Structure 1
Amino acid sequence: MGMDARKDIWHGELVLLGGHTIPWLNALKQAGWICHHCHDLRAAETLLLETGPCLGVVDLSHDDFSLQAIASLVNRHKQVRWLALVRDEQLSIESVCQFIVSFCIDYFTSPIPESQLLKTLGHQRGMLTLERKVWPKLGHFGQQGLQGNTPVMKKLLQHVKRLAAADMPVLIQGEIGTGKEMVAEAIFQASTRAKGRFVAVNCSSIGRSWAMKGSESECCFEAARDGVLFLNEVTSLPQDRQQELVQWLQDGRFTKENGSEVSAEPRLIAATHYPLDTLVSEGRLSKALYYRLNVLSLTVPPLRERGDDLLMLADALLLKYARQYNCGVKAFSDNARQAIATYNWPGNVQELVGRIKRAVLLTEQKNIEADHLELPRQADDKQSLKKIREESERSALLSVLENNRGQISAAARELGVSRATMYRLLNKHDLIPPPRDLGQNS
């Protein structure tokens, strides 16, 4: 389906919840609208996730659903522009009035004035057209390492799409290396924040202030003002930084060290691989921050739970890096695919990326063989947590060195460590550059 056709369908879709014989629904269909009539909220949930931004009409006049259930559904789908249909006497019910004011752009009472309703729907369709121009990626996102057709990945993609539409803090959990930052970027790209900045901060490197690296005057809240602030390993924050974060989440204000006040309101997405309940019970995570963060959450599944999607992701990464490095590698051999499918991948996506990238760079053949991936033998597969962490650390060092073209000082600044610490880490993982590089001004 071409992009223009997709836009036409997107702007002309309407979901009706409840109600019985609806004459104006036929008029809309004749005018080219795609109309869905749902009498079941679970079916509506699935439909709204698949449809994305559209118009929604809630028929409250027949009391088909409880108002609480409807409110819960509508609140989860902020990408939909909702209208309500009610009886005159329902306007004396406080809860009905509250629902309309909180969630709907307009309402109509029975008997429904068909011409006026159709005119309103047509106007809202025009508003959706304008929104599409302003936020062209709303409800849509690139693959971002989230390829998959298995139930576990479909569930993750549904969660990403749903959370993108809700402009609220999100907590992403998952093992080391599962791609939590990629998921955060996917949420960002599919949201109304996509025209702003995506600012990623490693909380383990935050010290006495929230200042951005290389800037004493700008804090990360300012840098992500209209976009998304991604706090990786948020549970590593010191207690005083946790208190400041809670305060900012409460009133949207932050006072910098120089006394100036910042009132920027970026969307917060936080991530951690630690179990939050344990950290709260140990006193390492404040209860106030826990309750503020753990409202909208999702868990990124490890590679070992992704089934056939693992090979789909591996193929996508192979194509990406073969193009990036202009290599002649075309595919994985059968034995390499078998090795990828049977390996446990304790380092998850980070480990997969590292091994495929290395194989692409070092292989002179058209096919990558199992030996090129240098995977541990199955007998050695029970790796310790320490080894897993070291593998992830090494992968991160390789990535940051590549991003900074081998410049040690620049890589150290990006990681938020001193040059001496950077050399210690490089020595630890046997990554010290050749002598000719050591003489460069890094």
Structure 2
Amino acid sequence: MDKRNKIGAANSIVVFGGVNQKWLPSMEAAGWSCHRCYDLRAAESLLLEMGPCIGVVDLSNDDFSLHSLAALVNRNKQVRWIAIVRDEQLSNEAISQFIVNFCLDYFSTPVPCERLKQTIGHQSGMLALERQVWPQLGQFGQQGLQGNTPIMKKLRDQVKRVALSDVPVLINGEIGTGKLVVAEALHQASIRAKKPFARVNCETVQAGWIDDVERQSYLDYANNGVLLLDEFTLLADERKKEILKILSDGTYYRPDGSILTVDIRIIATSSHNFDDLSELDTLTRDLYFRLNVISLSVPALRERGSDIVLLAEFLLLKYARQYNSVAKSFSEQAQVMLLQYQWPGNVRELISQIKRAVLLAENKCIEAEQLDIPRITEDKQSLKKIREESERTALLTVLENNKGQISAAARELGVSRATMYRLLNKHDLIPPPRCFRQG
């Protein structure tokens, strides 16, 4: 195997089950990077890392529960699946349905290596065409997700990887942090980007799933697309039971009693802290565990350091165009004020502030007095000092995340090792050699 190949590369194959496959060495010799998986519990994270790729499911040794394998395959539609079976297994209705429903092709043992290689090569070519025709797959607009701090880089990376899977996602964060923006980014970067995106205010769907405006069922509309449950803990108990059933077997009962099979990816948001699950009732706790396959945490605005100014400048240009305002920039004093304020209302509060300033602006530069923000008179820090403190905090955070390993910290920040040392020297953060030993 070419050791230079990395997860997510175009010539990657993920192989589930099977032992001593004679075709594997042939594929590896041809330059394919083959990733073996014998544990379905670890498969989800592996497939998230892989992104769009070729998946080979070896059913010939009955390594996995077919039901569990079908659920995994169904959740990961970004993978092009190929099955390997014994000839006698083709008389098994469940296995035949699995192949027909989920796989692009199948091979009987013993596997004809050259034919398999040709098929995998063709499917890899289809993946390349898919990326050419649909280049936005795995990408999303960064509106609301801008930032250069480690915490925002980490969130953007998580969104890109999680978007390519069909697993349920729980987005957590304080009120106003932009959880809906993250949910929309997940949808935009997924294979369901051109399918419906149904946002449900869970507090308002007490009696049923009918949208009062459109007079259409949210569940019908979201079929083949995404259902966003905004503040899922506020759902009525009957609605929670229906979501649990959809997550369990992909069906729900219509008001007329008929059963509808649906293919819906569910994303949920919550502003609650779930550290103490005992405070939840049994039904909500069960739903939490089913939704929390992948969790994303959206940071509070006060945790985003110097990124606050970057986001404010983006919003300024956005609303200046929208309202035909002359405003173009913030003064240094206004930037200091934006950085000093704690933003209890998070991004939602920032948007209101920017809109107000834009609408009242008479000059290109917005001054501090035009921002309706409480002033911190006792702390007259300069913009330079505040930015340096934010930079120092970011360095400490990334060092802690990487257990003091400077090379790893530099990679996370996207800078060279030399630049990393220069920044550490600047902030007097160079550790003694014995504290941050490499490897």
Question: Which TM class, normalised by the smaller chain length?
Answer: 0.5 to 0.7
Contact kept in structure 2, 1:78 and 1:165, CA below 8 Å: no
Alignment of 1:407-422 (within 5 A): none
Contact kept in structure 2, 1:231 and 1:270, CA below 8 Å: yes
Aligned twin of 1:367: 365
Deviations 1:55-99 (A, max 9, x none): xx32x5xxxx9767974543334633235699xxxx986549989
2:174 corresponds to 1:175:
yes
Aligned twin of 1:330: 328
Aligned twin of 2:52: 80
Post-superposition offset of 1:260 = 4.2
Alignment of 1:280-291 (within 5 A): 280-283=278-281, 286-291=284-289
Post-superposition offset of 1:249 = 2.0
User: What amino acid sits opposite 2:11 in the alignment?
Assistant: L
2:312 corresponds to 1:314:
yes
Contact kept in structure 2, 1:12 and 1:125, CA below 8 Å: no
Alignment of 1:27-426 (within 5 A): 57-58=34-35, 71=43, 73-77=45-49, 79-82=51-54, 94-95=62-63, 105=82, 119-132=118-131, 135-216=134-215, 218-278=216-276, 280-283=278-281, 286-378=284-376
User: What amino acid sits opposite 1:275 in the alignment?
Assistant: N
Which one has a larger percent helix, Structure 1 or Structure 2?
1
Per the alignment, do residues 379 and 299 of structure 1 end up closer, same or farther by CA in structure 2, a change over 3 Å counting? Answer: farther
Contact kept in structure 2, 1:276 and 1:285, CA below 8 Å: no
Per the alignment, do residues 92 and 269 of structure 1 end up closer, same or farther by CA in structure 2, a change over 3 Å counting? Answer: closer
User: What amino acid sits opposite 2:166 in the alignment?
Assistant: D
Cα distance in 1, alignment partners of residues 353 and 170 from structure 2: 28
- SS of the aligned residue for 2:11 comes to strand
- SS of the aligned residue for 1:270 comes to strand
- SS of the aligned residue for 1:82 comes to strand
User: What amino acid sits opposite 1:14 in the alignment?
Assistant: N
* Normalised TM-score (structure 1): 0.65
Post-superposition offset of 1:261 = 3.7
Per the alignment, do residues 239 and 68 of structure 1 end up closer, same or farther by CA in structure 2, a change over 3 Å counting? Answer: closer
Contact kept in structure 2, 1:235 and 1:284, CA below 8 Å: no
Contact kept in structure 2, 1:193 and 1:226, CA below 8 Å: yes
What residue ranges of structure 2 are gaps of 5+ in the alignment?
A: 1-7, 16-24, 74-80, 85-106, 380-439
What residue ranges of structure 1 are gaps of 5+ in the alignment?
A: 1-10, 29-34, 38-56, 382-442
Contact kept in structure 1, 2:198 and 2:221, CA below 8 Å: yes
Cα distance in 2, alignment partners of residues 181 and 105 from structure 1: 36
Contact kept in structure 1, 2:170 and 2:295, CA below 8 Å: yes
Per the alignment, do residues 73 and 180 of structure 1 end up closer, same or farther by CA in structure 2, a change over 3 Å counting? Answer: closer
User: What amino acid sits opposite 2:269 in the alignment?
Assistant: A
Deviations 1:238-262 (A, max 9, x none): 2222222222222222223343443
Contact kept in structure 2, 1:279 and 1:285, CA below 8 Å: no
Contact kept in structure 1, 2:200 and 2:229, CA below 8 Å: yes
Per the alignment, do residues 67 and 344 of structure 1 end up closer, same or farther by CA in structure 2, a change over 3 Å counting? Answer: same
User: What amino acid sits opposite 1:151 in the alignment?
Assistant: P
Post-superposition offset of 1:225 = 1.6
2:10 corresponds to 1:13:
yes
Per the alignment, do residues 374 and 105 of structure 1 end up closer, same or farther by CA in structure 2, a change over 3 Å counting? Answer: same
Aligned twin of 2:388: none
* Normalised TM-score (structure 2): 0.65
Cα distance in 1, alignment partners of residues 271 and 377 from structure 2: 27
Contact kept in structure 2, 1:84 and 1:100, CA below 8 Å: no
User: What amino acid sits opposite 2:126 in the alignment?
Assistant: M
Aligned twin of 2:425: none
Post-superposition offset of 1:298 = 1.0
Cα distance in 2, alignment partners of residues 141 and 95 from structure 1: 37
Sequence identity percentage: 44
Cα distance in 1, alignment partners of residues 221 and 320 from structure 2: 34
Post-superposition offset of 1:227 = 1.5
Cα distance in 2, alignment partners of residues 26 and 323 from structure 1: 56
Cα distance in 1, alignment partners of residues 252 and 38 from structure 2: 40
Aligned twin of 2:76: none
Per the alignment, do residues 250 and 327 of structure 1 end up closer, same or farther by CA in structure 2, a change over 3 Å counting? Answer: same
